Amino acid sequence: MGILTVLWEKWVEFRRDFYKISVAAIISPVMYLIIFGLGIQTTSHGEPYLHFLIPGIVAMATMTGSFGAIAQSMSVQRLYEKALDQVMVSPTPLWQFIVGQIIGGSLRGMYAGALILLLTSPIQTGLIFNGLSIFIMFLNGMVFSTIAVVLSFLAKSYSDAPRFTTYIIMPMSFLCNTFFSTDQLPAGFRQVISILPLSQSCDMIRKIANGQMISFFGIGILLIYLCIFGLIAMLFIYKKKNL
């Protein structure tokens, strides 16, 4: 019930800012697609680079969409509007509020990913996007929404949300299997990068797109992130003395 309330609140936000949200969701990914996919035309593993790039861009759009939807909104609600107080006082169980935020954020991420799929659909790539891809996008979105919830509790000022994006989202966007395979990275660094959630999501969405089997290791990694950050979020909302 409380989860539906949060999803309703997210829907109100989405409906009101539909155009802004949609445009913001596609600008960067479309730029990357134009520059790296169409502008600098190259190949990867004998295939057009665009075939490698599109699954990565979809995963990245899901990540940035989910993270942005929650980090910004919750930081503003907590620090500026104080609207979080309304939730804290209410009888809505706080775990439901957190779960609602995570699902709501993930849906926003999926919307961003779906827009990329829609925009690239005229390009004949032969890439496959199916139910499993959608599941991975949803899981990826949940992980980054949860990270955003935790960071919004840690934020001390309004400017922290964009700062977190610079520290976390931007490096992941470029390093985590989005634009190039992590296989090319030096040993040690490669292992670290490969266990980051976006690396796994990119890898899985790309494998599905190319008709390959995915390993459940990737799903396991995403679930571990989800559990760890989900627990931290619960701990904060129930135990943090000064929210």
| Choice between 166 and 242, CB closer to another protein | 242
> Which residue has tokens 């699954």?
55
Rounded to an integer, what is the distance from CA 154 to the centroid of its chain?
19
Among 41, 42, 90, 159, binds another protein (CB under 8 A): 90
The residues with which 48 forms a beta bridge, in sequence order, are 43
Cβ neighbours, 10 Å, residue 53? 25
CB of 70 to another protein, least distance (A): 15
Nearest to 4 by CA among 111, 94, 99, 144: 99
CA–CA distances in Å: residue 168 to residues 67, 160, 224, 243? 10, 12, 18, 23
CA distance 83 to 22: 25
Nearest residue to 176 via CA among 36, 56, 19, 81: 56
- Give yes or no for residue 87 binding another protein (CB under 8 A): yes
Q: Which of 83, 118, 192, 227 binds another protein (CB under 8 A)?
A: 83
Does the protein bind another protein through residue 242 (CB under 8 A)? yes
- Minimum Å gap between C-beta 114 and another protein is 24
Backbone angles phi, psi at 227, to 5 degrees: -65, -45
Main-chain dihedrals φ then ψ at residue 126, nearest 5 degrees: 75, 5
* Residue 215 backbone class (left: φ over 0; alpha: ψ -120 to 50; beta: rest): beta
Number of residues that bind another protein (CB under 8 A): 32
As measured in angstroms, the least distance from the Cβ of 183 to another protein is: 45
Which range binds another protein by CB under 8 A, 124-132, 170-178, 183-191, 235-243?
A: 235-243
Q: How far, in Å, CA of 123 to CA of 205, rounded?
A: 18
* 241 counts as binding another protein under rule CB under 8 A: yes
- The answer to whether residue 154 forms part of the interface with another protein (CB under 8 A) is no
Selected binder of another protein within 8, 18, 167, 217 (CB under 8 A): 8
Q: Which is nearer to another protein, 45 or 241 (CB)?
A: 241
Sole binder of another protein in the list 28, 92, 125, 194 (CB under 8 A): 92
Residue 220 as a binder of another protein (CB under 8 A): the answer is no
Q: Which is nearer to another protein, 47 or 85 (CB)?
A: 85
Q: Which residue in the set 44, 48, 72, 94 belongs to the binding site for another protein (CB under 8 A)?
A: 94
CB of 27 to another protein, least distance (A): 21
Indicate the helix (H) or strand (E) that contains 17. Answer: none
Binding site for another protein (CB under 8 A): 1-2, 4-5, 8-9, 12-13, 16-17, 77, 81-94, 237-243
